[in-house]
């Protein structure tokens, strides 16, 4: 396992970090309780809380659950056709009987009640089509259940992307505002120096121009943050939710040792591939079902009846009858419908096989892309950390040089802009790394709930 730590904010005490890491590794149940102490503020949520809220309100997940309920019901319906079917029937009638004009018209008319009721039991002895249909719907139910996991994975990816986007734009806004404050101080110093004729008007105007540009950046970044919050609200179905701020190292565990290992895990564990495989099995049973229509359908039938009327509800002495029979049906001619159904079943089977192959290629592509992206982001984090240290040094040197009279104010402005850009780039790299780590876990079939809990803990660890 590779334990990857990304520095976040000011350093924390070693004791606090060790306690948090022990809670993460050995006391997963206490993790939620530990996080809860930071989540009592109204509207402030950790990633795991946001994800749980999304699962409650996400329409895509609700639709997937109803699709699964429907598929299970279809499977149970198909299974029921292979069991004995018992039905009751009954007729209660008031009958009037009279002859029309003719030799019998002199006979008196009759009015009498009639009863006919009974029971019939029909159970299949041989019904290949019905049994294959039950097998087909069973595979479909399994497929839809697996697709539920696929929807959960996509939901977590969308939620995490939106959540991290809010965090990133929030940090961007803080950093741009910090540069604005520094520039305002710089402008005040420049103005004071200009009044004492120690600074050229051009330097003062350059400072003013940079300050105005940063103020515009503040408005722009604030707008991006509002858009990110809106996206998060759409996923959650509620408004007023803010992510929990990140103020510590991000500790993420990667159990994959190479890109080939990631590819292998994706092929064997990706739920999208498993769902596509169930679809192939279901389509294969669809072919067997249509072939089964060329077998005779044989049923055992038992019926019992009591009646005091006969044919055409004519009066008859009360009687009870019982019968046992073997019923057989065999199609001889359907106008080509049987051959057409079989052709469609074969087409569905070959389509399902192609979709399985496409799912495998897609899973491999996602896993490899996530691995490459994660490694690139990790390297970028190291580079951006170095860039930030360099920009801090450059800013400090520029300020000292201006005070010593060996540099211009514009050198400080450039150094300030470089430091802000370095901070923003570092934040982007860190969140990009976290997102690629999550995508790699999802692509290799890891449990979305466990991934959400691990990432949430890493982001919320104090």
In this structure, are residues 118 and 305 in contact, taking their beta carbons and an 8 Å threshold?
yes
Residues 439 and 404: their CA atoms lie apart, in Å, by: 51
What digits encode the pLDDT tens for the residues 70-98? 999 999 999 999 999 999 989 888 888 77
Q: CA-based angle 384:390:394, to the nearest 5?
A: 140
Does residue 65 carry a pLDDT above 70?
A: yes
Lowest mean pLDDT among 19-23, 63-67, 335-339: 19-23
Residues 435 and 160: their CA atoms lie apart, in Å, by: 7
Classify each residue of 300-335 as buried b or exposed e, where b means 16 or more C-beta atoms within 10 Å of its C-beta.
eeebebebebeeebeeeeeeeeeeeeeeeeeeeeee
Query: Taking residues 136-159, what's their average pLDDT?
Result: 91
Does residue 38 carry a pLDDT above 70?
A: no
The CATH number of the structural domain formed by 84-126+295-330 is 2.20.200
Does residue 30 carry a pLDDT above 60?
A: no
pLDDT, residue 107, reads 66
Q: Find how far residue 229's CA is from the centre of its chain.
A: 19
Does residue 18 carry a pLDDT above 60?
A: no
Residues 391 and 423: their CA atoms lie apart, in Å, by: 9
Tokens of 336: 């080509």
How sure is the predictor about 63, in pLDDT bands with cuts at 50, 70 and 90? Answer: very high
pLDDT, residue 6, reads 47
pLDDT, residue 203, reads 65
In this structure, are residues 265 and 17 in contact, taking their beta carbons and an 8 Å threshold?
no
What digits encode the pLDDT tens for the residues 186-222? 777 767 766 777 656 766 677 777 778 878 888 888 8
Query: Taking residues 283-311, what's their average pLDDT?
Result: 89
Q: CA-based angle 400:406:411, to the nearest 5?
A: 70
Does residue 402 carry a pLDDT above 80?
A: no
Tokens of 201: 């008007």
Q: What's this model's pTM, rounded to 2 decimal places?
A: 0.74
Highest mean pLDDT out of 26-40, 267-281, 308-322: 267-281
Q: Where are the domains of the chain?
A: 2-82+128-294+339-460, 84-126+295-330
Instruction: With H, G, I as helix, E, B as strand and everything else as coil, classify residue 100.
Output: coil
In this structure, are residues 143 and 282 in contact, taking their beta carbons and an 8 Å threshold?
yes
Q: Tell which wins on pLDDT, 32 or 184.
A: 184
In this structure, are residues 251 and 4 in contact, taking their beta carbons and an 8 Å threshold?
yes
Does residue 23 carry a pLDDT above 50?
A: no
Chain-wide mean pLDDT for the chain? 80
Written out in words, the top-level CATH class of the domain with range 2-82+128-294+339-460 is mainly alpha
């Amino acid at each position: 396992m590779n334990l990857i730590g990304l520095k976040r904010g000011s350093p924390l005490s070693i004791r606090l970090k060790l306690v948090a890491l022990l809670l993460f590794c050995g006391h997963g149940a206490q993790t939620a309780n530990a996080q809860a102490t930071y989540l009592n503020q109204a509207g402030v949520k950790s990633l795991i809380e946001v994800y749980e809220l999304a699962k409650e309100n996400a329409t895509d997940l609700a639709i997937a659950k109803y699709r699964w309920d429907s598929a299970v019901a279809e499977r149970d319906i198909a299974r029921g056709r292979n069991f004995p079917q018992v039905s009751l029937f009954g007729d209660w009638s008031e009958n009037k009987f009279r002859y029309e004009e003719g030799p019998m018209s002199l006979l008196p008319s009759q009015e009498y009640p009639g009863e006919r009721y009974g029971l019939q039991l029909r159970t299949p002895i041989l019904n290949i089509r019905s049994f294959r249909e039950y097998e087909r719907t069973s595979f479909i139910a399994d497929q839809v259940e697996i697709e539920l996991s696929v929807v959960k994975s996509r939901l977590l990816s969308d939620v995490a992307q939106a959540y991290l986007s809010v965090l990133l734009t929030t940090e961007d806004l803080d950093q741009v505002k910090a540069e604005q404050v520094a520039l305002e101080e710089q402008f005040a110093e420049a103005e004071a120096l200009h009044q004492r004729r120690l600074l050229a008007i051009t330097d003062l105007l350059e400072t003013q121009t940079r300050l105005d540009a940063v103020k515009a950046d503040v408005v722009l970044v604030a707008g991006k943050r509002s858009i990110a919050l809106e996206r998060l609200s759409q996923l959650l179905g509620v408004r007023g939710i803010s992510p929990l701020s990140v103020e510590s190292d991000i500790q993420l565990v990667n159990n994959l040792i190479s890109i080939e290992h990631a590819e292998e895990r994706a092929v064997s564990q990706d739920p999208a591939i498993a769902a596509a495989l169930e679809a192939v099995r279901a389509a294969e049973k669809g072919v067997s079902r249509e072939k089964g229509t060329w077998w005779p359908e044989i049923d055992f039938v038992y019926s019992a009846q009591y009646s005091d009327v006969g044919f055409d509800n004519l009066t008859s002495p009360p009687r009870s009858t019982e019968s046992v029979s073997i019923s057989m049906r065999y199609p001889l001619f359907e106008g080509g419908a049987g051959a057409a159904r079989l052709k469609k079943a074969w087409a569905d089977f070959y389509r399902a096989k192609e979709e399985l192959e496409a799912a495998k290629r897609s899973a491999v592509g996602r896993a490899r892309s996530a691995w490459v992206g994660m490694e690139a982001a990790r390297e970028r984090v190291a580079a951006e950390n170095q860039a930030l240290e360099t920009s801090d040094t450059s800013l400090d040197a520029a300020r000292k040089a201006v005070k010593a009279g060996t540099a211009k104010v514009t050198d400080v402005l450039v150094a300030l802009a470089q430091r802000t850009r370095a901070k923003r780039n570092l934040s982007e790299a860190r969140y990009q790394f976290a997102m690629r780590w999550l995508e790699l876990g999802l692509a290799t079939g890891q449990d979305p709930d466990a991934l959400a809990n691990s990432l949430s803990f890493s982001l919320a660890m104090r």
